[in-house]
Amino acid sequence: MRKIDVTPYNATIIENGVSSIKPYEITLALINLMFSPELGLSARGFVEQDGIASKIERSGPELILEDREYKRLYKAVESFRGYNRNDVELIRRVMNAEKI
């Protein structure tokens, strides 16, 4: 099993040329990554991912995943193309998830 810190962290957002610090909602980002087109999911794959996405939605400040679930999340994070600097902390948290 793996434990991932999913508490929001600060990210710099630039809107209309003005930068501001806003909370980065890591749970929403993880859920979106689970359905990334880069994964080439079949219908069955979408259903399986949805079970993990529901677990992410229900998580508190820490997300606990079985090894099988963690591997799917890790693959989603690793497969995505299009990150920006605000996403580095999300990637670190997933890739360095504590084994429990």
Domain boundaries, the chain: 2-99
Which pLDDT tens digit goes with each residue over 13-56? Answer: 888 889 999 999 999 999 999 999 999 999 999 999 999 999 99
Reported pTM: 0.90
Confidence of residue 96 (pLDDT cuts 50, 70, 90): very high
Closest to 85 in 3D by CA, of 24, 7, 39: 24
Give the distance, in angstroms, between the CA of residue 11 and the centroid of all CA atoms in the same chain.
15
pLDDT of residue 15: 83
Q: Tell me the one-letter amino acid at 56.
A: I
Q: What pLDDT is recorded for position 44?
A: 93
